[in-house]
Amino acid sequence: MPIHHVTAARIWTGDASAPWAKCMSIENGLINSLDHKPPQSKHTLNLDDAWILPGLIDSHLHLLMGGLSLGRLDLAGARSREEFEKLIDARATQLAPDRWLESFGWNENNWGGAKPDSTWLRSAGDRPAIAWRCDQHSAVINQHACAILGLNADTKSPAGGTIVRDSSGAPTGLLLEQAAWKLLVPHIPQPSRAMKKQACADACAYLLSVGVTSVGAMEYLDDIEHILAPACSESALRVRVRATVLDRERPLPFARADAIHGNDFLRVIGFKSFADGTLGSSTAAMIDDYSDVAGSGTLMEHALEGTLADWMREVLAAGYSPSVHAIGDRALGEVLRAAVAADHARRVRFEHAQTVHPDTLAQYQGRIISMQPFHKATDAPLAATRLGSHRQNRVFQFREFLRSDARLAFGSDWPIVTADPLEGMRVAITGVALDGKIHGAKQNLTPEEAIAAYTTGAADCLGDSRLMGRLSPGSFADFVALDRNPFACNWMDEAPQVVMTVVGGVVQYDARAQVVLR
């Protein structure tokens, strides 16, 4: 049943000119008016015991991958090799003999830093087995998978990737970056369209339960065409999707992207490139060498080829926004130089921006910085070891970006980490990482700044600031109700919880009923 009126004494609108309201009226899925006392009717929703925010926006996630991950083996809880192997063994007993064993989420920092090799997957039995690291930028495979790939001492690493080898030169089973993507991924059995359709529904259900109403989804064009577009036409998309295309082969498929006719729930807004890897896999491109491993990471794709500015111009000329994954300070410098040359309208999205050289901060004024604060929870504890004491304070510079008048947007990168924006806010506000320690306290944000990055900032990042991220006349009637004051609660110990999620004036999640409405 659609909602026509909401009565609540505490509505934060996200509109600086009128930040608070006591009630709002809804018509045709849009906010009609604020603070006009509505008549009581069966279409009136009374939320006097809740705090209302605009629907939370995740500016960067992987919708279908996230949905699929809900049914895959998650190794994030493994705290030792023994626990890792027990999880693999338990999953192997559940699978048919001809099924690949796919898992994800391991983090070597959970057990002292030793990187796994193919022997860690022996309990998978006589089947190919894959275990992706939590950042999805490296994978370890067993000997059966190595045989399928034809890996041996003579196999060359592809540009932008590494086949890790032992002292004799034989592959260990660990593949980094393009070695995983180019050598391994083409051999992995792909989920059927029926499985992806279910994954889309599962992803939407999960996101609604954590208060997310709109997402910036990084997806392959085939999946946008055959999964997301049909779901949109069938009114099966329950969160609004602004899709960025992951396909990077030339010529770029602009005509296919143009042919996707969505609506308020689906639009294709951009194309993506990768400038480097990740800190966790030691593949983020740094100006200086890492402190704990050899090398300084690697540039990738257009940044490696020196064609990044040309790629940006091509994407912009086609009417789309370029997004570039850049984590290391060298990679960010390359993206910044290309953007200065090619992007006078400042539509390029700097994705992740985890390690920034202080001399460049002022140059990000007016530029879109799309960050994922929960990555700080996983990666900040690595900074001192991986980057050294002289660089550890250059990571996750939320506060410095705001001081530079950059346009800060928050998201998650789900399923790399949780998509719960309240958990992301907790990290951005407190600086507490998964090791229980506070990291980079000088970069902590106020609750209002963190909430803005998940609402108005994320809407700006996705090019929809008029309709998303705020509750004002003419905007989408998308909002989340929380159980306590997010501006004054103790984020260390008592973070808010989602009570209800509403999209287009329709209740899509109600924690009190413990259901997601479909």
DSSP symbols for 119-184: GGGGGG-SS-EEEEETTSSEEEE-HHHHHHHT--TTPPPPTTEEEEE-TTS-EEEEEEEHIIIIII
Assess contact for 168 and 153: CB atoms under 8 A. Answer: yes
Please, which residues have CB within 8 angstroms of residue 16's CB and are 6 or more apart in sequence?
A: none
Q: What is the value of pTM for the model shown?
A: 0.92
Please, which residues have CB within 8 angstroms of residue 275's CB and are 6 or more apart in sequence?
A: 285, 299, 300, 301, 302, 303, 308, 324, 325, 326, 331, 332, 334, 335
Please, which residues have CB within 8 angstroms of residue 254's CB and are 6 or more apart in sequence?
A: 318, 320
**482: number of CA atoms within 13 Å, CB side?**
25
Q: Are strands 20-27 and 407-410 parallel, antiparallel or unpaired?
A: unpaired
State the CB neighbour count (10 A cutoff) for residue 440.
19
d(CA 352, CA 417): 13
Q: Sheet holding 368-371: strands in order across?
A: 56-61, 212-219, 240-245, 266-274, 321-326, 349-352, 368-371, 407-410
> Could you state, in chain order, the average pLDDT of each consecutive group of 10 residues for the chain (518 residues)?
82 95 94 82 81 98 96 92 96 91 91 93 94 92 96 92 94 94 92 96 98 99 98 97 95 97 96 94 94 92 93 98 98 97 95 97 98 96 90 96 98 96 99 95 98 99 97 98 97 95 97 58
Closest by Cα among 181, 190, 189 to 128: 189
Give the burial class of 204: count Cβ atoms within 10 A of its Cβ; 0-12 exposed, 13-18 middle, 19 or more buried.
Answer: buried
Please, which residues have CB within 8 angstroms of residue 318's CB and are 6 or more apart in sequence?
A: 252, 254
Q: Give the pLDDT confidence score for residue 516 in this predicted structure.
A: 44
Closest by Cα among 16, 30, 8, 15 to 474: 30
* Token output for 241: 């999707």
Owner of token pair 């960025």: 244
Distances 269 to 231, 238, 452 between C-alpha atoms, Å: 18, 19, 21
Q: Give the pLDDT confidence score for residue 514 in this predicted structure.
A: 53
Assess contact for 84 and 61: CB atoms under 8 A. Answer: no
d(CA 334, CA 330): 6
d(CA 219, CA 272): 10
d(CA 26, CA 474): 9
CATH class label, 65-187? alpha beta
Please, which residues have CB within 8 angstroms of residue 26's CB and are 6 or more apart in sequence?
A: 2, 3, 4, 5, 6, 32, 477, 505
State the CB neighbour count (10 A cutoff) for residue 380.
25
Owner of token pair 């966790």: 280
| 384-387 contacts at long range (C-beta below 8 A, 24 or more positions apart) | 385/291, 385/292, 386/279, 386/282, 386/290, 386/291, 386/292, 386/293, 387/279, 387/286, 387/290, 387/291, 387/355
Q: Give the pLDDT confidence score for residue 48 in this predicted structure.
A: 77
Please report, as a single letter, which amino acid is at residue 480: V
3-state secondary structure 174-219: EEEEHHHHHHHHHHCCCCCHHHHHHHHHHHHHHHHHCCEEEEEEEE
Assess contact for 517 and 503: CB atoms under 8 A. Answer: no
d(CA 149, CA 192): 22
Bond preceding residue 415 cis, omega within 30 of 0: yes
